[in-house]
Amino acid sequence: MLFFIDTANLAQIKEAHDMGVLDGVTTNPSLMAKEGIKGKDNVLKHYVDICNIVNADVSAEVIATDYEGIVREGEELAELHTNIVVKVPMIKDGVKALKYFSERGIRTNCTLVFSAGQALLAAKAGATYVSPFLGRLDDISSDGMQLIRDIRLIYDNYAYETLILAASIRHPMHIIDCAKIGADVVTTPLNVITDLLKHPLTDIGLAKFLADHNK
């Protein structure tokens, strides 16, 4: 399973990268705004800064919602760095753009996916990644994990190569359950990755080993 970090914070990206467990980065306009990155030139520079930390896929989201705009922005993003994956919203013009990018070898991440039907469309259009937002479904008392299961089944039935990138991860059990189901990738905030480290018996056991060593 691949681990992506879901942030535009350079220090957190570096920390996850230094742990040796980072396989990529996802960003979105909200995460960029959270870091105070404003203006096109600054946004594009920030993507390059991220690409220079991790030599792996970095999702950069288009803002346009019309086909021509998505294609124009996506091509500009893809030219920034070979690591860039163009993040495209699950809308009709987005699906059309996914097909355009796929035919030209530009890697894509179809975002804002909340149903199996949307995931099927993304795969048919040749998306590299599909991003089901599992936490946001859980937030409205819907079963986010069932969506991951459904997409896995559908993609396996037809051998679609689109990778399932489980997004909107809230806690470690989301990662564990995604791993059991066979999601290809999880993208999570840094604290959810480091929460995987935690177990009280590890802390107790280590304290005892060190105490015994010092006797």
Binding site for ligand G3P (CB under 6 A): 6, 26, 28, 133, 135-136, 167-168, 187
Which residue's CB is nearer to ligand G3P, number 71 or number 167? 167
Which residue's CB is nearer to ligand G3P, number 26 or number 83? 26
**Which structure tokens are listed for 191?**
């604290």
Please, what is the minimum distance in Å from the beta carbon of residue 191 to ligand G3P? Answer: 12
Identify the helix (H) or strand (E) that includes residue 59.
strand 57-61
Could you say which of 38, 40, 87, 92 is catalytic? 87
Please, what is the minimum distance in Å from the beta carbon of residue 80 to ligand G3P? Answer: 19
Cα radius of gyration rounded to whole Å, the chain = 19
Please, what is the minimum distance in Å from the beta carbon of residue 2 to ligand G3P? Answer: 14
Instruction: Identify whether the C-beta of residue 136 lies closer than 8 Å to the C-beta of residue 147.
Output: no
**Which structure tokens are listed for 162?**
């689109």
Spatial distance between the Cα atoms of 104 and 101, rounded to a whole number of angstroms: 5
Which residue's CB is nearer to ligand G3P, number 30 or number 157? 30
Residue recorded with tokens 């991951």: 148
> Is 208 known to be catalytic?
no
Spatial distance between the Cα atoms of 178 and 164, rounded to a whole number of angstroms: 10
Catalytic residues: 87
